[in-house]
Amino acid sequence: MTTEKTTPTFALLDPVRSAAISRRQALTGGGMMLAFLAFGRRKAHAAGEEPSLRAIGDGTIDTGDAFRGFAPGGFIRIGTDGAIQIIAPNVEMGQGIYTAEAMLIAEELEVGLDQVTVLAAPPNEELYRQPILQSQTTGGSTSIRGAFVPLRQAGAAARMMLIKAAAERLQVAAETLRAERGRVIDPASGRSLAYGEIVEDASRQPVPQDVPLKPKAEWRLIGTPAHRVESGSKVNGTAVFGIDVKVDGMKVATVMASPTRGGTLKSVDDSQARAVPGVVDVVRLENAVAVVGDHYFAALTGLKALQVEWDPGENAALDTATLFADLKTASETGTPILGRREGDPEAAMAGAARTVEAVYELPFLAHAALEPINTTIHVTDEGCDIWVGTQVPTAAQKVAAARLGMAPEKVRLHNHLLGGGFGRRLVADSIEQAALIGKQLRYPVKIVWSREEDITQDLYRPAYYDRISAGLDEAGRPVAFMDRITGGSVLGAYLPDGLPEGTIDSDAIEGAADTPYAFPNLLVDWVRKDPPLPVTWWRGVGPTHNVFVVESFMDELAAAAGEDPVDYRMALLKEKPRAAAALRLAATRANWGESLPPGTGRGVSLHGAFGSFVAAVVEVAVGDDGAIRLNRVVAAVDCGHVINPDTVKAQVEGGLIFGLSAALYNGISFQNGAVEQTNFDTYTQMRINETPPIEVHLIESEEDPGGIGETGTVSAAPALVNAVFAATGRRIRKLPLGEVDLTERDTRAPVTRGKVPA
């Protein structure tokens, strides 16, 4: 069999992190497309296909063939039998987006969630291009921000066309009719028509070019708690994640790649592996080897029986100490790229009454999603079918097509529920690897990475080294704030053509260059120091790094000024009332200022990332043995218009747990070129008995929706380390906390606590 190389391949992404889109543009095709009604029989689902969300219907996920109709988009299908299907443009990976996007469409379509089936969108860049990221991508907490207007317009346009069709049928003025629960009603006569009865007539109506949306006072779904549309299938076991796919004639494979990045397969003796009962094939790639079996256990047993020799390549001596030493050297001697400058920070620093300086270090982090990497693929002379859960369906389709040497339209990608994404499935490297394996086989094969492979071959969040400083006036207020950030470029790894040298990576500086605070003189710059291994997005992206540094340092400044951390922040928030309101609410609900027993402390963090404002208070107790117990977490959230409050709260809770787990335990380290963490025994996750009570309080807002999925992760680590400082007097500037000895206390630390701000 041939030996081919697989290297990380990244999805297309517009480097512009946000883009304004008018309602008119959304309606006419400038952003997301419009509504779509199709009629006739539903298409039967293919083998292994997600059998839809049976809790609310029995439709199927489509590969795109059925998207024909009278409007230019692909979000709504109504059958002549009255069945309504909503196509969600973003993928469901536990964040509740199927439900939220269905609510947006159903609100204007005037139907209930109980009347619709939600389907996953097929790869189609034209129809499902996300207006903020400018690609068919789910990530960056952009889904609702990008879909809030276009999806409501899709439902409204469809409703208007149905009403006009009904008006012609009933021979009355369209303005006299109203829609409710999937019917068009004539209040004057009491007559009504179901959507299914008039869908064919509606298909001949012109697409409206000016679509008014319902005012908030008339919303029936948006803003109300709603059960997740896919929760029933997850509870009863009918939900099909990528790893659950079964296809007739399918074999199962597992993979071993070079333990060092850049290493290659030197030789392999597969004689013992082929002797394992159930092993049917061994496939070689340039930097990996796969064993195929009748089932996973046979494949895994065969993989362990291989006699493999690797050429470790140029990273054979890679170790963590050297990586951080290189970051430190780059920070001190490298050429910085300007991120943001306000005023004259150097002069203000020179004239300050006092200066405070600190160095913060953050480790590489793995994604460690509950569902390990997997792809099912079947390559034939006619084309290729791929069953997978991915955040980038069109990019994955193109990557596979390129490796298989066929046109993208010949690759039929069936997207499934994801058992966690966190940014890992924004990259198509594993799908590329599957294509290289699948092209050597003539039968369908499901490739499943072991947990060890999932962690050691992950694409990590970069490590960072920050030198941060502030100049304070006589009152302890900052007159200058400076942050030099050093680390690798995620955009440089992700963009198809990389990031040109000397260009700022917005992800590297995002949460430092834009804080809620009023700093009269500010300098944020970045020294690019790419590690010798690929990196990518991690839940919370840049702000998880920047906000940790900034919010930890804000506590240092408060301590230096002898002020309460909440009071200190509030004094700098006069120009950010939404941020101040979130901080005030979190502090109030957390009983900030009330006395605590010795060894117990509260810590706070505040940020305005992803278009939302979140304040969090963490309360911890640190025992004499240094063990940390999380007593309580309180968060206050202003994310603009709330679509589903239950989902918002769940997302913040999950993000907090994800971030607290990473802060306590997680870090990827290297020794002799290889990753030292291999499973959840060495890349530890919080257990349920360690998880504290979490309160999430939502602030009612008239602002456009902000992102929410990553905000809790951003909030977690700084609030935690600030709480540890309050409890012990020990300032934490390096994560994870599990590597810090907290048995020693510093009772001299100037910790003060004021009252909850009015």
Percent of the chain whose predicted confidence (pLDDT) is above 70: 89
Average pLDDT, the chain: 89
14-23, 437-446, 602-611, 742-751: which range is least confident on average? 14-23
Query: Where are the domains positioned within the chain?
Result: 23-236, 242-313+373-448, 321-364+460-739
Instruction: Write the CB contacts of 640 (distance below 8 Å, at least 6 apart in sequence).
Output: 611, 612, 701, 702, 703, 704, 705, 706
The 10s digit of each residue's pLDDT in 345-360 is 999 999 999 999 999 9
Average pLDDT over residues 233-260: 97
* Range of weakest confidence among 64-78, 100-114, 488-502, 609-623: 64-78
* 533-584 residue pLDDT tens: 999 999 999 999 999 999 999 999 999 999 999 999 999 999 999 999 999 9
pLDDT at 14 over 60: no
Give the CA distances from residue 705 to residues 59, 142, 144, 149, 347, in Å, rounded to whole numbers and listed in that order: 30, 10, 7, 10, 39
Domains 23-236 and 242-313+373-448 share a fold: yes
Confidence check: pLDDT of 59 > 70: no
Tell me the two tokens of residue 620. Answer: 């911890």
- DSSP states of 379-442: E-SS-EEEEE--S-HHHHHHHHHHHHTS-GGGEEEEE-B-S--TTGGGB-HHHHHHHHHHTT-S
Give the pLDDT band of residue 209 (cuts 50, 70, 90).
confident
Query: Where does the pLDDT of residue 748 fall: very low under 50, low under 70, confident under 90, or very high at 90 and above?
Result: low
Does residue 758 surpass a pLDDT of 80? no
d(CA 159, CA 208): 10
pTM above 0.85, yes or no: yes
Count Cβ atoms below 10 Å from residue 225 Cβ, excluding itself.
10
pLDDT in tens, 158-172: 999 999 999 999 999
DSSP 637: E
Q: How confident is the model at residue 193 (pLDDT cuts 50, 70, 90)?
A: very high
Q: What is the mean pLDDT of residues 260-268?
A: 96
CATH number of 23-236: 3.30.365.10
Instruction: Give the helix, strand, coil percentages of the chain, each rounded to 5.
Output: 30, 20, 45
Contacts of 609 (CB under 8 A, 6+ apart): 510, 511, 540, 543, 547, 707, 710, 711, 714
For position 243, what pLDDT does the model report?
98
pLDDT of 318 strictly over 80: yes
pLDDT-derived band at 39 (thresholds 50, 70, 90) equals: very low
Single out the residue of 89, 94, 93 nearest to residue 102, CA to CA.
89
> How far is it, in rounded angstroms, from Cα 32 to Cα 121?
13
Q: What is 242-313+373-448's CATH number, 3.30.450.20, 3.30.365.10, 3.40.50.1110, 3.30.230.10?
A: 3.30.365.10
Q: Between helices 195-202 and 143-170, what is the axis angle to 10°?
A: 90
Which of 208-222, 468-482, 557-571, 704-718 comes out lowest in average pLDDT? 208-222
Q: Name residues whose C-beta falls within 8 Å of residue 329's C-beta, 6 or more positions apart in sequence.
A: none
321-364+460-739 topology per CATH: Aldehyde Oxidoreductase; domain 4 (3.30.365)
Mean pLDDT to the nearest integer, 27-50: 32
Average pLDDT over residues 464-493: 97
pLDDT, one tens digit per residue, over 665-718 is 999 999 999 999 999 999 999 999 999 999 999 999 999 999 999 999 999 999
pLDDT value of residue 207:
82
Please state, in angstroms and rounded to a whole number, the distance separating the CA atoms of residues 9 and 61.
26
Give the pLDDT of residue 56: 25
pLDDT in tens, 362-396: 999 999 999 999 999 999 999 999 999 999 999 99
